[in-house]
Amino acid sequence: MKVRVHVSLKPGVLDPQGRAIHHSLEGLGFAGVNDVRAGRLIELDVADSVTDAALDEMCRKLLANMVIENYRVEKVAA
Amino acid sequence: MKVRVHVSLKPGVLDPQGRAIHHSLEGLGFAGVNDVRAGRLIELDVADSVTDAALDEMCRKLLANMVIENYRVEKVAA
């Protein structure tokens, strides 16, 4: 089973990487960009026996920093 | 308009970050994880006037390294 975990900073948390990307896009001449936020994408290939609760626990224990980040688990049809 | 850009390493490209995550998940006792790949998620808030071609160019010029990475642009309903 393929699982994608999207990890993004919570709203209000300062995102210097996103600001740097935003600044660079403007420097390259791209107009119309209002905001950029940078996050992580973690693609897991797990056994079908792995439960949603286990995936949630992986995110909370390792993949995301729950103090400043949100995560979203997306199962991908194989 | 909200746009998510998913950037992931091409198949076959060595992914030390993914391997470290995989190793850590096993160390934490999670079973059934076959493979982990780490990528980036970039969330853009752009004006509605920004075209698909412009988004593609942003990815190719800045957001993804086309030599080793693939990208996917996903528009999110506001």
Beta carbons of B38 and A33 less than 8 Å apart: no
Q: How far apart are CA B31 and CA B53, in angstroms?
A: 43
Interface confidence (ipTM) of the complex: 0.89
pLDDT in tens, B54-66: 999 999 999 999 9
Q: Tens of pLDDT along B6-55?
A: 999 999 999 999 999 999 999 999 999 999 999 999 999 999 999 999 99
Torsions phi, psi of A61, nearest 5?
Answer: -85, -35
Give me the residue from B18, B33, B45 closest to A35, CB to CB: B45
Average pLDDT rounded to a whole number, residues A25-46: 96
CA distance, residue B6 to nearest chain A CA (Å): 7
Does B24 sit within 8 Å of A33, measured CB to CB?
Answer: no
Model pLDDT, residue A78: 65
Q: Which residues of B touch A25 (CB under 8 A)?
A: 58, 62
CA distance B63 to chain A (A): 8
Residues A6-28 have pLDDT tens digits of: 999 999 999 999 999 999 999 99
Domains of chain B: 2-76 (3.30.1280.10)
Please report, for residues A73, B1, B30, B33, the alpha-carbon distance to residue A46 in angstroms, rounded to integers and kept in the order given. Answer: 13, 33, 10, 4
The predicted structure's pLDDT at residue B77: 78
The A-side interface with B (CB below 8 A) comprises 6-8, 18, 21, 24-25, 28, 30-47, 49-50, 54, 57-58, 61-63
